[in-house]
């Protein structure tokens, strides 16, 4: 009986030792702020070297908060869940500043069409007369350089004394311009006078 009891108690003790060993082997610690490998080793009655080997640590001085370390291991390769709270710094997003491409739309501003209309404004204001001069010539002679009416001769029906015997077209033009310039200042003014009085 005593031998049987002794065998039973020995078997029970061995079983409990195996259970403790298994528990001891599987013990893991989650690293908290301020923890060090040496402190964890001292707390769990093991060595720094054992923890380093069991967790395959490259540097025993470098552990992270939240990391799980196996302690009381037999030095066999242990599965190390290195949950290092890696402060993942957001990558500096190089926002390619889309240069507001100044689309040089060659847009031609409407060019004022310089229609070279011989608006003889200058001429009209001066003595070449433009439409006012032509209008007076039409009224006076029908535009004929050879028209005569008593002492009045040519396209502009000028007094023969003004023409000095030269009845050429060029001289008639010159003398008519000179006469209008000195008397009215412009062919337009001469036309206005004609409209009011029937002559210039």
Domain boundaries, the chain: 2-70, 121-197
- Whole-number pLDDT of residue 80: 37
Tokens of 152: 């009045």
Instruction: Write the pLDDT tens digit of every residue in 56-65.
Output: 888 888 888 8
Q: Cα(69)–Cα(160) distance, rounded to whole angstroms? A: 132
Instruction: Write the pLDDT tens digit of every residue in 87-104.
Output: 444 444 444 444 444 444
Question: What CATH homologous superfamily does 2-70 map to?
Answer: LysM domain (3.10.350.10)
Cα-atom radius of gyration of the chain, to the nearest Å? 61
Q: Cα(101)–Cα(108) distance, rounded to whole angstroms? A: 19
Q: Cα(167)–Cα(149) distance, rounded to whole angstroms? A: 14
- Whole-number pLDDT of residue 112: 44
Q: Cα(100)–Cα(115) distance, rounded to whole angstroms? A: 39
Instruction: Write the pLDDT tens digit of every residue in 7-35.
Output: 445 444 444 444 444 444 558 889 898 88
């Amino acid at each position: 009986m005593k031998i049987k009891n002794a065998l039973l108690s020995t078997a029970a003790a061995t079983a409990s030792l195996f259970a403790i060993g298994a528990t001891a082997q599987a013990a893991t610690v989650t690293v908290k702020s301020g923890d060090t490998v040496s402190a964890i080793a001292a707390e769990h009655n093991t060595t720094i070297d054992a923890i380093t080997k069991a967790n395959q640590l490259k540097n025993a001085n470098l552990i992270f908060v939240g990391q799980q370390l196996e302690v009381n291991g037999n030095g066999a390769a242990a599965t190390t869940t290195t949950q290092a709270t890696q402060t993942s710094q957001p990558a500096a997003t190089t926002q390619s500043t889309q240069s507001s491409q100044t689309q040089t739309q060659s847009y031609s501003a409407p060019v004022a069409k310089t229609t070279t209309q011989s608006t003889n404004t200058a001429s009209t204001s001066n003595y070449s007369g433009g439409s006012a001069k032509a209008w007076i010539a039409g009224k006076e002679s029908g535009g004929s350089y050879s028209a005569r009416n008593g002492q009045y001769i040519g396209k502009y029906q000028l007094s023969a004394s003004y023409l000095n015997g030269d009845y050429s077209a060029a001289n008639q033009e010159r003398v008519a311009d000179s006469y209008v310039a000195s008397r009215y200042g412009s062919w337009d003014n001469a036309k206005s006078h004609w409209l009011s009085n029937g002559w210039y």
